[in-house]
Amino acid sequence: LAARVDFIDNKDELSKLSLVFNEMMDRLEESFHHQNQFVEDASHELRTPISIIEGHLNLLIRWGKEDPSVLNESLKASLDELARLKKLIQDLLLSSQTEPLQIETDIERVDPADVIIKIVDDFSVIHPEMIFEVETRYLSGIWLAISVGHLKQILMIVIDNAIKYSGDEKTIRITGKLVTENTVQLQIIDSGLGISNEHIAHVFDRFYRVEKARSRKIGGSGLGLAIAKRLVDNYQGSIRLESVEHEGTVVTVVLPRSFA
């Protein structure tokens, strides 16, 4: 809260108290509203895979014994949906907690160039159509004090978005460099669909997706960037997104090499 009232001995103090009190109520109300919205959005997201699994179970009961192809397909589809559900629950948990992540025990000396190259190799296998231009030579000899799992997660979210929203432009640039003695900057640059100005401010909000229809077709829950921001914030770093619609997007992640 902006103001504190220590004790009251006159009318002035009393009006100060009412101001503080009202501000407190406003914040509580806002926080309840966010909480309710989160539960509503989360339930909505969970309902889709559950309904799909329900549909397949009904198919199995009806046709599964006689028709081996229904048996195979429905079991496979249900397993796929279960995997999606599991990932969604992990993402929901990660994006709903507000207390600091337990990171002290996981901190390692991490070579960011190495992590970038490994992730790009993995994505290249899944998306052979994409062209990755990786510029990590300015990171040579540079290391970060970070949980390698967290760094991977941040990069995977942003690179996955660059791929999902690449449109017909298949080239993605990933660069890294030292910006101050103690900070590393990583940039993920695509020339894809881009985001219009009105939406840019909201992309780090939980469940926010530009153009629901377009995003639904592409997949994703709108939690990725909220999670990336939470992870980056946890290391006292920063993440920002600049974008021009129909031209492309630049995501910049700045991380301290060692943190307080």
* Site residues (vs ligand ADP, CB under 6 A): 157, 161-162, 165, 190, 192-195, 203, 208-210, 215, 220-226, 249
Q: Which is nearer to ligand ADP, 137 or 212 (CB)?
A: 212
* Angstrom distance (rounded) from CA 115 to CA 108: 13
CB of 193 to ligand ADP, least distance (A): 5
Looking at the Cβ atoms of 56 and 192, the one nearer to ligand ADP is 192
| C-beta closer to ligand ADP: residue 146 or 239 | 239
Toward ligand ADP, which CB reaches closer, 55 or 220? Answer: 220
Instruction: Kindly give, in sequence order, each residue whose CB lies less than 8 Å from that of residue 253, ignoring residues fewer than 6 positions away.
Output: 154, 155, 158, 185, 186, 187, 188, 228, 232, 237, 238, 239
Nearest distance from C-beta of residue 203 to ligand ADP, angstroms: 4
In the complex, least distance from residue 56 CB atom to ligand ADP, rounded to whole angstroms:
24
Nearest to ligand ADP of 145, 238 (CB atom): 238
Which residue of this chain has its Cβ atom nearest to ligand ADP in the complex?
220
- Shortest Å, Cβ 139 to ligand ADP: 22
What's the min distance (Å) between Cβ of 15 and ligand ADP?
Answer: 43
Residue 231: closest CA among 120, 103, 132: 103
Residue from 138, 180, 161, 179 nearest 249 by CA: 161
CB of 40 to ligand ADP, least distance (A): 17
CB closer to ligand ADP out of 96 and 215: 215
Measured from the CB atom, is 143 or 252 closer to ligand ADP? 252
Kindly state the smallest distance separating residue 25's Cβ from ligand ADP, in Å. 31
